[in-house]
Amino acid sequence: MRGPHNIFRLIRTGATLERNAAMADILAAVEAPRPARIAIRALAWPFKWLGYRGDPGLPPVARALTAMGPAYIKFGQILSTRPDVVGDDLALQLRLLQDKLPPFPVAAAKETVAYELGRPTDELFAEFSEPVAAASIAQVHRARMAETGQDVAVKVLRPGIERAFRRDIDAFYFAAGLVAKFLPGSRRLRPVEVIEHFEGVVLGELDLRLESASASEFADNTQHDEGFRLPQVLWNHSSRRVMTMTWADGINASDVEALRAAGHDMTALSQRVIQLFLSHALRDGYFHADMHHGNLKIAADGDIIAYDFGIMGHIDEYTRRVYAEILYGFIKRDYRRVAEVHFEAGYVPADRDVDEFARALRAVGEPIFGMDASRISMGKLLAYLFEVTERFGMETRTELILLQRTMVVVEGVARTLDERMNIWDAAKPVVERYIAESIGPKAITGDLVKTARVLARFGPRLPALAEEALIRLSKEPEPAERPSRWWGLAWAVIGGAIGAGAVAILTLL
C-alpha cells in the first residue's frame, strides 16, 4: 500500500542521505532545480540524527545506501547499470557498493534448507559450513553431500527478505511518485518506470529457481567453450529459496599475485576474459551481466570459472548483428559504414545527415585509436558512441546500456590480469568470426531456411485461408474492387505453393 505510512521511511531515508553527504549528489543526478535542492536539503537537515551512519571508507551515495540495508544496496547496484538514468559520475560511484553484509546464523540457513527440500539438513549434507559469502539477498555455504561426498555450494535466501523488499519497494514507489510530481525536470528519467524495472529484477532474484534456470541455460550455451566452465546446478537439491551447485575450486580473479605464483599465463587469461564475453554476447545473445572479479575464479588448469547468475543480459539476433557491425566498423575505422548501420537499424532518425554523423563518429574513434595499447578502451568507445548518438536523436536502448556496463566491468577484470593488453587485438577475431557467420552467404542461407520453416508452419492452414478469402470475395458487392482482391487471392495461392515447397524441402533436410 503506497500510502502515507511510507512518510516516516522517506524521512529516515532522507536523513540518512543527508547525514552521509549523499543528498547533493542525488539531487544533481536527477537535475533538480536549485530552489528545490535548497528546499529539500533544508527539510532533511533537522532530521539528520534519525539517519544511519555509513562506512566512511565509501563514497557518499554508496555509504548511505549500504547503511540502509539490502533493498537499498540492491537498488544502487541496479542503478549502477543505468548511467542513462543516474549519469556517469553517480553510476561509477554506485559500482563501488560492497555487496557484503553481516551473515545470518547458520541455524536459520539450515532451517530454510530443511523446509524447502523437505528433509533435515543433516540428512542431506554430511557437512554444512558457516557462511563463506553474504550478500544483500542471500548467503552461500560450503557443504558436502551425504550420499555422494561431493562438495557443493548452497545458496540460501535471507530469512524474511521477500517481505523486507516488498516493504521497501512500496516506499520507493511512493518516493518516485512524489519526485515525478514535484520535480518536473526528473520526469525525463521516468522515476516510476525505474522502480518498476528494479522490482522486476529483484523479484526474479528472490526466486532461486530462476537463477538456477539461468545457470543451466548459460551452461548449455557455453559447454564447448575452451578454457571456460560453470558449476553444475543440482536440481534435486534446489528450490525457490535454496540453490545448490557443484563447488568451484580456484583462485579469485582479483588475486593477481596468487595467479602469477601459480604459474598462470596472465596475458592469455586477460584476452580470454574479453573473448569469452564477446562470444557469449554475439554468438548466443545471452551473457553474464555481472562478470566482475568476485564472480570469477581461475582453476588450477587455467580455466575461467564463472558463478552467481542473478543478473544475465539478453540481446536479440538482429541487435547482435548491428552491434557486431558497429564494432567491426570501428576496428576497420570505416566510420561511414558505422553511420550507415545506425541509420539502417533505425537507431538514428532518417532525417539526419549520414555524412555529418559519420564525421561525428570519426571524432569518437580516432582519438581512441591514437592511444597507447594499454589505454584503449572499448567501454569508453561505447560510452562516447552513446553520447554522440543521443545528440543525433537516438533513443536510449536498455539492452545496449547493460552491454556497455558489462563491457566496462569485463575490461576492468582483463586489465587487472594484464594492464597492457590490447582490447582491440583480443576482440578482433571474435567480431570477425561473428561477422563472417552472421552476415555472409552462410547467414543468408540460414535466414532463408528459417523463413521456409515459418512458411511451412502455415502450410496446413493455407487451404482454409484460401477458402475464407474466396467466401469473402464472393460476398463483395463492389465489382470494381475485385481485381485487386483477385490479386490478393493469387498471392495467397502463390504463398501456399511456396509453403508447400518449403514443407517438402524441410522434409528432405
- Single out the residue of 165, 109, 97 nearest to residue 137, CA to CA: 165
List the grid coordinates of 409: 566491468
**Residue 147: exposure state from Cβ atoms within 10 A (0-12, 13-18, ≥19):** exposed
CA 249 to chain CA centroid, nearest Å: 26
| β-bridge partners, 252 | 297
Is 464 in contact with 312 (CB distance < 8 Å)?
no
| CA 239 – CA 208 distance, rounded (Å) | 7
What are the residue numbers of the active site? 290
Radius of gyration from C-alpha coordinates of the chain: 27
Question: In sequence order, which residues have a C-beta less than 8 Å from that of residue 255 and are 6 or more positions away?
Answer: none
All residues at 6 or more sequence positions from 392 whose CB lies less than 8 Å from its CB, including other chains: 348, 349, 352, 357, 360
Query: How much of the chain is helix, strand and coil, in % rounded to 5?
Result: 65, 10, 25
User: 10 Å Cβ neighbour count for 494?
Assistant: 10
42: exposed, middle or buried (Cβ count in 10 Å: 0-12, 13-18, 19+): exposed
CB proximity list for 243: less than 8 A, separation 6 or greater: 154, 155, 208, 209, 211, 212, 233
DSSP helix/strand/coil, 191: helix
How many helices (H) and strands (E) the chain has is answered by: 23, 10
| Cα dihedral sign, 158-162-164-165 | positive
Integer Cα distance of 104 and 100 in angstroms: 12
